[in-house]
Amino acid sequence: MTSGPLKAGLVPRSRSRAVLTHAGGLHARPAIKLTQLAKRFQSEVWIALAEHGPWIDAKSIARVMATKTPYMATLHFVAEGNDAAEATSALARLVESDFADDGNGG
Amino acid sequence: MGKNVGIVIVSHSADVAKGAADMVRQMVGAHVPLAWCGGNLAGGLGTSVEAIVKALELAWSDSGVVIMVDMGGAETNSEMAIEMMPERRRAKIVVCNGPIVEGAVMAATESSSGAALERVRRAAEELYSR
């Protein structure tokens, strides 16, 4: 169980956010895409529905789906690690693009 | 392909097994070895060791294979099918204790990122372990 971002100051850290405009909210298919994207980065990545958490491991499909994030909610992302900036910007782009297909078969 | 952990879906019903496999393909994509079997050899409800062995061979990956089952005989027949596999493969096959549909989708999501067998199993079982 991860406890959320704690190592601030020790490793590169990045934040982003995006409004969930996907009709129906973060249901199964977009949750899978979000998790798959998060897993491409070495950094630890968390999501939250509020600016200060509670933080959820973005690489856990069960936990991401369990957020039941509704339509028009703001998703907050935090990443810690060497590719943290790439991770948070890619995740925000995915949400802003309404989970557009990236040609990865998803 | 071939490197990601494989998923085998074993249900008493061919319709359930095929439906769960369709969900995996459409939601997670084509980067995970996947096979399903359901029903007995007479075409009724049930599971067949022989069919499970075939599915294990179809979805085989050197990284291992997780089996999602529905109930009772699906689990015992899966264990018998594992016994019939070549010895060097047996340690790389696990029967997961998770919901057959959701577990298959979550296991495949984990596998699609290149995760190892134990992590894929944990993803499949996460819904029952909370």
| Cβ neighbour number for residue B19 with a 10 Å cutoff | 17
pLDDT of residue B127: 85
pLDDT in tens, B57-88: 999 999 999 999 999 899 999 999 999 999 99
End-to-end CA distance of chain B: 31
B48 touches A at CB < 8 Å? no
Q: Which residue has 């979805």 as its token pair?
A: B59
Burial of A24 (0-12, 13-18, 19+ CB in 10 A): exposed
Q: pTM for this structure? A: 0.88
User: Among this protein's residues, is A27 annotated catalytic?
Assistant: yes
Distance CA A94, CA A76 (A): 13
Distance CA B39, CA A89 (A): 47
Could you tell me the two tokens for B72?
A: 């009772």
Domains of chain A from N-terminus onward: 14-96 (3.30.1340.10)
A49 touches B at CB < 8 Å? no
Contacts with A36 from chain B: Cβ below 8 Å: 28, 109, 112-113
Question: Which of B59, B73, B71 shows the shortest CA–CA distance to B120?
Answer: B59
Contacts with B103 from chain A: Cβ below 8 Å: none
Distance CA B83, CA B63 (A): 18
Yes or no, beta carbons of A32 and B123 under 8 Å apart: no
pLDDT of residue B69: 97
Task: Tell me if A78 sits within 8 A of A59, measured CB to CB.
Answer: no
pLDDT in tens, A48-58: 999 999 999 99
Rg over alpha carbons for chain B, rounded to the nearest Å, is 13
Could you tell me the two tokens for B69?
A: 């089952």
Q: How far is CA B2 from the centre of its chain?
A: 15
Substitution target from B102, B109, B112 for chain A, most A beta carbons within 10 A: B109
pLDDT of residue A1: 44
Write the ipTM.
0.84
